[in-house]
Amino acid sequence: MPESFSIEFSNGLTAKALYSQANADLTLTLEQLGLSSPRPVFVVVGGASKLSELDRQRLRSLFLTVLAALAESLNACVVDGGTDAGVMQMMGEARSQMGGTFPLIGVTCVGLATLPNQPPPAEDACGLEPYHTHFILVPGSQWGDESPWMAHTASVLSGGLPSVTILINGGEITWKDAAQSVEAQRPIVAIAGSGRTADILVAALHGTVKDERASALVDSGLLQAVDLDNPKALDRVLKQIVATGSGASSLNL
C-alpha cells in the first residue's frame, strides 16, 4: 500500500495525497488519508478550462452560499477532479472564503496532474487546486480516466449514507461523470442555465431536446434540475436528498 505524503502549495497550505494503484482498496486508501466514513458526499462535476469568466461570475454565489455552506453544515465531504480550473477551482475558493473545515478531495489522473515545483507530466496537464485538503492521484493519462475513480471514491466515503452529484455546465468529460453517477445509483442535480452539458440535460428533462446520452440519464430516474437563479431551491433539494437518500427525475425550477 503506497504511503500518503504532503503537497505544499505556494499559498502556504498543505494537502494530504496518495498515489493509488489500479487494484487499490479505496477503503484503505481513504483510511491512509485520514478520511473517516460514512458521511454524506457531494460530487461536483462540470466545466473546467472552458468555463468562461462570465460563467464564473454567475456561479460564484452558488458555490459559496449553497454548496460550501451545505457541505459545512451537513458534515459532508466534497469530491471533484481536483485541478485548478473551472468548477473545481471555484469549489476550492468557496471553501477558503467561508473558512470551511469540510474535506475537499480531488481525484486526479497522475498523468495529467502537475504538482507544485514539478514539471508538467503532459502538454495538457493542469496544476492542482491549492485549497483542496486531499488528493487521490489515480492511474490515467487522459481526461476522463478519473471518472470511475471519483464515483467509486464517493460511494466508499458515503458508506451507505446519501450522496449526490451536482452537475454544472460541462463538456464531454461531464457526460462520462454523469454516466458513472448513474451506474453508482447516485442522484444527479443539473444546474439549469449554467450552460453546455447541464442545459442539454435540462432540455431533455423538459422533452424539448432529443439526445441519446441525455435520454439515458433521464430514463434512469436519477436526474433532476434546479435553476441557477434559484439557490434556495438547490439548497432545499440537496437537503432533501441528504435527508432521504432519494432523487427522482423532476424539474425544480
Residue range 84-128, pLDDT digits in tens: 999 999 999 999 999 999 999 999 999 999 999 999 999 999 999
pLDDT of residue 172: 95
How much is the pLDDT for 37? 84
108, 128 Cβ separation under 8 angstroms: yes
Whether cis (ω within 30° of 0) applies to the bond prior to 40 is no
The pLDDT confidence band at residue 247, using thresholds 50, 70 and 90, is: low
Give 3: exposed, middle or buried? Use CB within 10 Å, 0-12, 13-18, 19+.
exposed
- Predicted local distance difference test score (pLDDT) of residue 49: 83
For 173-228, write each residue's pLDDT tens digit: 999 999 999 999 999 999 999 999 999 999 999 999 888 899 999 999 999 999 99
Give pLDDT tens digits for 17-29. 999 998 889 999 9
Is the Cα dihedral 90, 156, 18, 36 positive or negative? Answer: positive
pLDDT category at 51 given cuts 50, 70, 90 is: confident
CA 78/CA 14 separation, integer angstroms: 17
* Residue 56 or 126, more confident: 126
Domains by residue range for the chain, with CATH: 14-251 (3.40.50.450)
Mean pLDDT of the 47-58 span: 86
Whole-angstrom distance, CA of residue 232 vs CA of residue 62: 10
Residue 111 · residue 121 · CB < 8 Å? yes
Residue 103, all three cell numbers = 474535506
Contact in structure between 127 and 139 (CB atoms under 8 Å): no
